[in-house]
Amino acid sequence: MLGAQNGSESATVAPDSCTTLAFLVLAAALLYLCGAPLETDDVWWHLSLGRAFAKEGLWLTADPLLHTSVGPPIPAAWLSDLLLYFASLLPMGLHGLRVLHVASVAGIMGTAWFTLRRASGSIGLASFAASVFLLLSAYRLTQLRPELATLLLSLLLYTLLLQTRSPPSWLRIGLAALLCGLWANLHPAFPLGPLLIAGAAAGIIAERWLRTNSSAPRLQARALRLSWAALLGLGATFVNPLGSGAHLLFFRAGEASPELSFVVDEWSRLDPFHWAPANLPPGPVGWLAYLLLSFATLTAIGAAVRLWRRGEEEGRLANVDGALVAFALVGVIAPLYAVRFLWLSFFPLLLLVNIARDATRDRALLRWSVALATLLLIFASHQFGQWQRLSSGISLSGYGDPYHRWKYQDRAVRFLQETRLEGNLYNPYSMGGFLGYWLTPRLRLFIDGSLNVPSRVMREYLAIQANSAEHEDESVTSRLDHYAVDVYLGVGMPTLPPINRPWRYTARHLLGNPDWILVFRDMRSAIYLRRNARNTENLKRVQAYYDRAEISFDSEQGLDVARLIDESPKWAAERGLVPMDFERRLLRAAKHEGILRAGLGILSATYHSIDLDERAWRFDATLANAVPTASGPRTRLVGGLLRLGMIEQAQRQARSLDRLAPNDRLSHFLIEEAKIQSTMGEAERRLRVSRMPVLSPRMANMLRGLQAAARPLVDPTQGGSEIFHDD
């Protein structure tokens, strides 16, 4: 008898252990991503606002970061801003933020798992549901933003008020109100708290109305208590610097999304009728998981309602909690409004494991099925889901860095710091927060993730990014002059953007523009100064910078990139202008040591990336002639010829390329460009060429791997100097 009992226990413990182990591995992997070098764009402007609030108070007289704003920033998440800023002041510096991120997400994971464990009565079911929750909310969890407070507080509110079926005590209601008041100062999504509580009360009222048995008094008492909790929680949320104005921010959020096509992950809706793209959240695996979860949830709710109306009381489904039904419906509906709300899938999962509480008891086969489903889900997410995108750029060798150095163009930022340039800066949206943290108040930004700018500024930003102009007063220079921009930061390499992602190649927009002076260049960024009286002192600073390095610089003509490489190849390599082994490759090419050994493709791609196309096309022509069946050199050759205005030659090469690589995305683009540009005027052609791709993503990644590593910037808040040097 005892042996049979032990065998039965072993048959149920083993699958649960397998499921739990899979969940722990997934949780550890996500925590590894959360602890990686900082790469959440918004955390930087939150840090900067926290710094400003700490020094000047909450009611700032002007925006401390943006020169395009019409007023000071709204202190909608002031407490989060201060917490992030003070965390950065700890001895660990920016690494302290990474620790805070890991701790916050671990708290969310633990709260979610224990809540699911209590609802399901099964370690295996809880681990499976928690794994689904982590996969659906991974994109939000891996970003260090005040929104993490919303995730955690939503789970805590449920635990306080709804985890048991009895009416919540007044103590619990008071604690819930305190949480709502705290929430109102941490993140603008705080109205979600009172709304969820009110929805729970409405769900219980609906259950009371639908049921035909004698449970009405108990349900009525619980609904009344929850209504009081919602009212008190709502009242507590008015204790914030904005009062009732803070509530409007939540309901107006996302209104500007049609203008924010570059913020593709924020307010895009989850479309249940179209397959999700692989490189956008939630990805195909998340999309399919959401559909299955929604179907199961709605089916269960429909079945429960039918049982309520028949007056049945036996079984988990008949006794499902109306409050939890309301929460689950929110979790199903919210992602249809914005994919960022997929984390609310926790509540449909909670409903389903509550219903399935007794389903797996003493059923080893079913438990093994749950374990297998967990493993398959994690495998599918790794192979076809968001894992590849979330983990891109993270490596063990760079894990000790405080932030993602490649993403934030820290060489260009270092140059702006070392030269102490002042004035108004034009910058990419994705870099705004980072630049603001390191460069303000000396340089003020055009745009950042706070979006504290008029809608016209956002439209102008998109026009500048695209370098589009139908009239002379719509040129990049006229648009930049309208906002008195002194310093222009262009970024990117000449590659096609990934499908469904915005175009971010702006480094070439001002090339050859007589109104702007090139003062810095590397393979991924370019900095220009406006040629005017305001920049006289800035030009002197740049001249002094190059004089100290004994590098030739003409303040009238700007930086001569070709001359710099020829005269100071080692300095150019150390500053990321060319690969570290560039000089050796040039010597091999000059000695005709063979095209493969000399790496002519790398030489050509390097020159293309820094706008020396007249040098690049000769290498491409040599490669194309030596290896006629290779499409890469001919693709670059077509692009280089178009850049140089040699349209007829480009068209001839394009015809050959069409036979070599008819299905290659970049080749197809350049073949069409060769046809289109032959019908254009010179001005229009220059605009198209400025944003035209030449390199394949593979070649661009090779150049990135060959670029010299730069040391991270020194944080001034940790006692570092404001002037930084590589040497």
Every domain of the chain and the residues it spans: 2-391, 408-580, 581-706
Is the CB of residue 85 less than 8 Å from the CB of residue 64? no
How many CB atoms are closer than 10 A to CB 86? 13
Residue 102's contacts (CB-CB under 8 Å, 6 or more residues apart) are 31, 34, 35
* Strand 525-530 with 487-491, pairing: antiparallel
Residue 694: predicted pLDDT: 97
pLDDT tens track for 545-589: 999 999 999 999 999 999 999 999 999 999 999 999 999 999 888
DSSP letter for 492, please. -
Residue 592's contacts (CB-CB under 8 Å, 6 or more residues apart) are none
Decide which of 64 and 589 is more confident.
64
H or E element in which residue 404 lies: none
Is the CB of residue 33 less than 8 Å from the CB of residue 391? yes
- Could you tell me what percent of the chain has a pLDDT over 70? 92
CATH architecture, range 581-706: Alpha Horseshoe (1.25)
Is the CB of residue 339 less than 8 Å from the CB of residue 281? yes
H or E element in which residue 169 lies: none
Average pLDDT rounded to a whole number, residues 242-266: 67
Tell me: cis bond preceding 662? Omega within 30 of 0 counts: no
Per-residue pLDDT for 264 more than 60?
A: no
Instruction: Give the pLDDT band (50/70/90) at residue 253.
Output: low
pLDDT tens track for 343-378: 999 999 999 999 998 777 767 888 999 999 999 999
Per-residue pLDDT for 259 more than 70?
A: no
Residue 669: predicted pLDDT: 95
pLDDT tens track for 635-693: 999 999 999 999 999 999 999 999 998 889 999 999 999 999 989 988 889 999 999 99
Place of tokens 């096609």: 496
pLDDT tens track for 309-347: 888 877 788 889 999 999 999 999 999 999 999 999 999
Instruction: Give the pLDDT band (50/70/90) at residue 592.
Output: confident
Instruction: Tell me the pTM.
Output: 0.92
The whole-angstrom separation of Cα 141 and Cα 38 is 13
The whole-angstrom separation of Cα 480 and Cα 488 is 9
The whole-angstrom separation of Cα 610 and Cα 617 is 13
Residue 219 corresponds to which tokens in the numbers above? Answer: 């349900």
Half-sphere exposure in the Cβ direction for 78 (13 Å, CA): 20
Is the CB of residue 320 less than 8 Å from the CB of residue 334? no
Residue 282's contacts (CB-CB under 8 Å, 6 or more residues apart) are 136, 139, 270, 276, 289, 290, 335, 339, 342, 386
Nearest-10 Cα torsion for 88, 91, 96, 100: -90
Per-residue pLDDT for 724 more than 50?
A: no
Residue 514: predicted pLDDT: 96
Instruction: Tell me what the pLDDT averaged over the chain comes to.
Output: 91
What phi and psi, each to the nearest 5 degrees, are found at residue 298?
A: -65, -35
Residue 581: predicted pLDDT: 92
Quote the crossing angle between the two packed helices 432-439 and 41-56, to the nearest 10°: 40
Residue 684's contacts (CB-CB under 8 Å, 6 or more residues apart) are none
